[in-house]
A = this chain, B = another copy of it.
Amino acid sequence: MSSDLVLGIDVGGTAIKAAAVTRTGTMREKRVVPTPGGGPKAIAACVAGIARDIQAKAGRAFAVGVGWPTPVDPQRGVVLFDNKLGSAGVNVAALIRRATGLPACIENDANAAALAEYLYGAGRGAGSLVLLTLGTGVGGGIVLGGEVWHGRDGAAGEIGHIKVRPGGQRCLFCRRRGCLEAYAGAQAILRRYRAAGRKAEGMKDIVSAARRKERPAVRVVSEMAEMLGMAVADLANILNPEIVVIGGGVARAGNILFRPIRAAMAREALPNVSKGLRVVPAKLGNDAGLLGAAGCAWKRFGTSASSPTSTTGNRRLRTASSN
């Protein structure tokens, strides 16, 4: 019986999430373990253990895709730079391949999440998608014609650093002024909210306060939505995508966020790109990274008949299908 599973692995700074994933994006035997110290070799060894454990329960996988929290060159499997895990210049795909005995590929985690929403989530069936992920900062990924757009240095999709208010608030990450992240990243929002003398553990508290119409909360949430709308308008004018997906915990806030985002986008983008542009919440939550990593493995090592965008067929070796 030939395998119809890949492994999707999402390596983060604090946790590794993993599961076996079918062609259509169904997860089996999901695991979450702390990221080990000791750099990429220790991580590869840890991934190999998880891979054995998952396959013992879910059945054999034929490939593994890894999401990595740094810019990567997915063609070569190499990390481009890294100030988190000490993996700069390392061929992580080769490490994982040796450790697991499976064909392996890597992708930046934000790009993987974008691919996941495109293949299995809010962007299913769209021709092009931009994902904005709202967390501590603002991440992003771009999928055009079914492929992640990486750019020259694997650095495309730095949507958090679009200038939405030149000369405005200073970005806590890049220290420039007026970046989207300075208005829509949780760290920046919490700092400004607390500076107004208010208390909040996280964005959830601020959104709740905004629902109660508490002034400072309404102000930061309105500003966040306004700036997101401006950035989406720029993306729409530049790329004319079919769908913009907004993920991260705060994206679950619903209309209090999405209504003003859509209004600002429609006001600022040209009518022919804003009309019909869907701006919607992400669907896959915290699983987006591992599902996208699995999607990369399906695209790279599955046959065209078994790739995630196709609806029928079993996996065969890629080389067999290209004859």
Q: Which residues of B contact A159 (CB under 8 A)?
A: 237-238
Which chain A residues in 137-195 approach chain B with CB under 8 Å?
Answer: 142, 144, 149-159, 161-166, 174, 176
Question: Can you give 7 contacting A-B residue pairs, CB < 8 Å?
Answer: A127-B152, A152-B240, A152-B273, A152-B276, A153-B240, A157-B240, A161-B237
Q: Which of A4-12, A203-211, A227-235 contacts B (4 or more CB under 8 A)?
A: A227-235
Q: Which residues of B contact A269 (CB under 8 A)?
A: 161
Asked whether any CB of chain B lies closer than 8 Å to the CB of A319, the reply is no
Q: Which residues of B contact A242 (CB under 8 A)?
A: 152
Closest CB in chain B relative to A166 CB, distance in Å: 6
Asked whether any CB of chain B lies closer than 8 Å to the CB of A239, the reply is yes
Given contacts A144-B144, A238-B159, A268-B163, contact A153 B233 (CB under 8 A): no
Docked-complex contact B155 and A270, CB < 8 angstroms: yes
Which chain A residues in 244-294 approach chain B with CB under 8 Å?
Answer: 267-270, 272-273, 276-277
Chain A 35-74 near chain B by CB (<8 Å), digits 1 or 0: 0000000000000000000000000000000000001000
**Oligomeric state, in copies:** 2
Asked whether any CB of chain B lies closer than 8 Å to the CB of A241, the reply is yes
The prevalent SS among residues of A at the interface is loop
Chain A 122-140 near chain B by CB (<8 Å), digits 1 or 0: 0000011000000000000
**CB nearest to A154 among chain B residues:** B240
CA distance A163 to B168 in the complex (A): 14
Chain A positions within 8 Å of B, measured between CB atoms, are 71, 81, 127-128, 142, 144, 149-159, 161-166, 174, 176, 230, 233-235, 237-242, 267-270, 272-273, 276-277
Q: Which residues of B contact A150 (CB under 8 A)?
A: 240
CA distance A268 to B162 in the complex (A): 9
**Which of B161, B230, B239 is in CB contact (< 8 Å) with A156?**
B239
CA distance A239 to B156 in the complex (A): 5
Of A144, A237, A268, most B-chain CB atoms within 10 Å: A237
Of A149, A165, A176, most B-chain CB atoms within 10 Å: A149
Docked-complex contact A151 and B268, CB < 8 angstroms: no
Docked-complex contact B241 and A162, CB < 8 angstroms: no
Closest CB in chain B relative to A232 CB, distance in Å: 11
Q: Which residues of B contact A166 (CB under 8 A)?
A: 164-166, 230, 268
New A-B pairs, 14, CB < 8 Å, besides A151-B239, A163-B230: A81-B272, A151-B240, A152-B240, A152-B242, A153-B272, A153-B273, A155-B240, A156-B238, A158-B238, A162-B237, A163-B164, A163-B234, A166-B166, A174-B270
